Structure 1
Amino acid sequence: MKRLTATDAARRFSEMLDAVERQGETFVVVRNGRPVAHVGPASKAQGAAVKSVLRANPRDPKWADELRELRAGLGVEERDWND
């Protein structure tokens, strides 16, 4: 894990993100000698985790109607959610 000062992280932000994306590197950003942030690869969402989040939140009863209106305006075919 590489350490960068906040100033260096700001100056080299694009380079830092390239290293994270391409090599999977992780950085600790330090301000006044103290770690204030970790920058590293984003965790990949697991299907089960996504389903858990969706199940944990109540359905919005207006959402299906709004989606139908949007699709009608775009000319998108209507499909049954249970298929």
Structure 2
Amino acid sequence: MRTITATEAARKFSDLLDAIEAGDRVIITRGRVPIAEIGPARRRTGADLHAALEGIAPLDDEFEKDIDGALDLLTDEEADPWVDA
């Protein structure tokens, strides 16, 4: 993990984002004090939503049917459905 100053991060923001997109994690300092750690965002999938919905206790029968219906719509996607093809 590399460390850069806030000034350097501001001046080279596009390069910083490219490095983070490639998987790097970066600590940004201000006055030699670490103030932020930046890394790649976690990509979410239908499986993440499925896991979140499974942990929800139904409020009533109708809600349970809605959750079951939503779970039925989810599949294990190979590709990220939110990225334009």
Structure 1 length as normaliser, TM-score? 0.55
Partner residue in 1 for 2:42: 43
Runs of 4+ in structure 1 deviating by more than 4 angstroms, as ranges, are 51-56
Ranges in structure 1 where 5+ consecutive residues have no aligned partner: 57-80
Partner residue in 2 for 1:5: 5
Partner residue in 1 for 2:66: none
Counting aligned pairs with the same residue, the percent is 37
Structure 2 length as normaliser, TM-score? 0.54
Tell me the amino acid that sits aligned with residue 42 of structure 1.
Answer: A
RMSD across aligned positions (CA):
3.0
Looking at structure 1, the residues matched to 10 and 49 of structure 2 have their Cα atoms a distance apart, in angstroms, of: 33
String of CA shifts for 1:10-49, please: whole Å, max 9, x gaps.
000000001111x2111000011111111111012252x4
Q: Say how many residue pairs are matched.
A: 63
Looking at structure 2, the residues matched to 15 and 27 of structure 1 have their Cα atoms a distance apart, in angstroms, of: 12
Tell me the amino acid that sits aligned with residue 41 of structure 1.
Answer: P
Looking at structure 1, the residues matched to 31 and 49 of structure 2 have their Cα atoms a distance apart, in angstroms, of: 38
Looking at structure 2, the residues matched to 11 and 32 of structure 1 have their Cα atoms a distance apart, in angstroms, of: 16
Tell me the amino acid that sits aligned with residue 9 of structure 1.
Answer: A
Ranges in structure 2 where 5+ consecutive residues have no aligned partner: 57-69, 74-85
The 5 Å alignment of 1:52-67 reads none
